[in-house]
Amino acid sequence: MNDITYDVRVYKTETYKGKTTTTYYVRWKVGGKAWRKPFRRAAQADTYRGELQSAARRGEAFSRATGEPVSWGRRSGAEMSWYDFVCRYVDMKWKAAAPKYRQDIARALTAATRAMYSTSRGKPEDAALRSAMHRWACNTKHRSEAPEEVQATLRWLAANTKPISALIDDPGLVRDLLDAATSCLDGRRAAANTVRKHRMVLSNALDYAVELKLLPDNPLKTLKWKPPAGTYEIDRRSVVNHDQAKALLAAVAAQEPSGRRLVAFFALMYYAALRPEEAINLRRDDITLPPPDEADAWGEIHLLKAAPYSGRQWTDSGAAREERALKHRAAGHGRTVPIPPPLAAILRTHLADFVDQGNGRLFYGVRGGDLPVITYRRAWRNARKAALTEKEFASPLAARPYDLRHACVSTWLNAGVPAPQVAEWAGHSVDVLLRIYAKCIVGQDELAKRRIAEALA
């Protein structure tokens, strides 16, 4: 074949000392054609030169087109820039990924890109680069619709990000890449959960680079790196008691114009441990209430889908929310949650006061349509301010609507409901349930001490 040859000669590394930096050139010939490759560090040049010599000694065929061993075919493709690789990875993941996971990928790879700039010449402002990368480059659906000023920024990124092969030639760059992906804009390390999430996204992306034969292996997996200590436990200070919860629901009802329609929304989190995306997607047909004359009877909620908020830019439909399977469950697998008498009364009032607008959902905005996130967040903030003392308002107590779900699960556990049953109702595994809510089970420490004392006696 004319495109390969075994005629290879490797020469001594050439050193060029400039005014500010020293460059090391590996020199060799393939089929009579001279090749030269620059490195910033002598060790990198020695490693690369040694690899060429080893391949030549083994009698490997060299490519006339690339000057490298044919077995290194990955390196001819590895000249793909980091920017082009990110776009290709995002496009590969887009179809199967949930909208919120698409956002996670965009955030992680946008942060990592800071380590892959090849020059600062003509570099746009950092804010413009981040926006272009996050909102457009990492968005398969809208990338081609980027405005002209954004397209200019994307062209700079395409032309001025390092090739992904740089991760082979410069091991230190791998650590820089991870540091950038797991750091805030001011250089501080991001929150523990964000660090873990971004490292996972980055590692998955580099696995894809291996699949494309752009890298021989995932360099992130050989990096010595200690994940930050994180906690998955609920802050006990955020959990409201029953009196506080009732006061908060009353404060929600007093607000105009949305308060009355939101009481049942928050009550579902407090009495049935629904997540916000589950409550907001609840249909009338999902609820089975006991007869009105049976005040102490229980009902049931049959959950099948949720509608997490992710923003119009990240959904296939263009809606701010997109229906998905329940968290941690396969499509078509739902769960049933009991309705205690106080919640049954609240739901019965809600169903009577607010008519079905045609889609069967319990909750919608004042003017119809989806219930806006800003509406229920504002209502909750105002309710906390009205129902809590100044000290409580400044504390983590029920700081988020989601904390009502934590209060419900804590109530079930403290009432002595077996952990497997609580896990089933809440949509958790037993292991996660006990790890998250360990500090919210009141009285367990005293019971344990009593049992130990009895054993010692």
Concatenating the DSSP letter of every residue in 188-246 gives PBPPHHHHHHHHHHHHHHHHHHHHTTSSSS-GGGGS---PPP---S--GGG---HHHHH
Evaluate the CA torsion angle 390, 396, 397, 402 in order and state its sign: positive
pLDDT digits 0-9 by tens, 146-164: 898 898 999 999 889 998 8
449 lies in some domain: no
User: Residues 70, 61: contact at Cβ < 8 Å?
Assistant: yes
The total number of structural domains that make up the chain:
3
Residues 389 and 259 grouped into a single domain = yes
388 lies in some domain: yes
Confidence of residue 441 (pLDDT cuts 50, 70, 90): low
Q: Which of 25, 57, 77 is the last residue of a domain?
A: 77
The residues that bridge with 81 in the sheet, in sequence order, are: 163
Distance of alpha carbon 62 from alpha carbon 68, whole angstroms: 5
Interior angle at CA 344, CA 254 and CA 236, nearest 5: 70
Residues 290 and 427 grouped into a single domain = yes
Q: How many CB atoms lie within 10 A of CB 87?
A: 23
Residues 36 and 162 grouped into a single domain = no
Q: Which of 25, 51, 77 is the last residue of a domain?
A: 77
Residue the block writes with tokens 């896990």: 423
Residues 423 and 278 grouped into a single domain = yes
Confidence of residue 446 (pLDDT cuts 50, 70, 90): low
Residues 35 and 172 grouped into a single domain = no
Residues 266 and 408 grouped into a single domain = yes
Residues 32 and 56 grouped into a single domain = yes
230 lies in some domain: no
228 lies in some domain: no
**Residues near 349 by Cβ (< 8 Å), separated by ≥ 6?**
264
Residues 274 and 348 grouped into a single domain = yes
Helix, strand, coil fractions of the chain, as percent rounded to 5: 50, 10, 35
Residues 264 and 393 grouped into a single domain = yes
453 lies in some domain: no
426 lies in some domain: yes
Residues 266 and 411 grouped into a single domain = yes
The confidence score (pLDDT) of residue 76 equals: 45
Q: What is the mean pLDDT of the chain?
A: 88
452 lies in some domain: no
Residues 25 and 63 grouped into a single domain = yes
Residue type present at position 161: T
Residues 68 and 216 grouped into a single domain = no
455 lies in some domain: no
Residue the block writes with tokens 């991870």: 178
Q: Which of 59, 77, 95 is the last residue of a domain?
A: 77
The confidence score (pLDDT) of residue 360 equals: 85
The confidence score (pLDDT) of residue 254 equals: 94
Evaluate the CA torsion angle 185, 189, 191, 194 in order and state its sign: positive
**CATH number of domain containing 258:** 1.10.443.10
pLDDT digits 0-9 by tens, 5-37: 889 999 999 998 887 778 889 999 998 888 888
Q: Residue 37's domain spans which residues?
A: 4-77
pLDDT digits 0-9 by tens, 63-105: 877 788 877 754 444 478 899 999 999 999 999 999 999 999 9
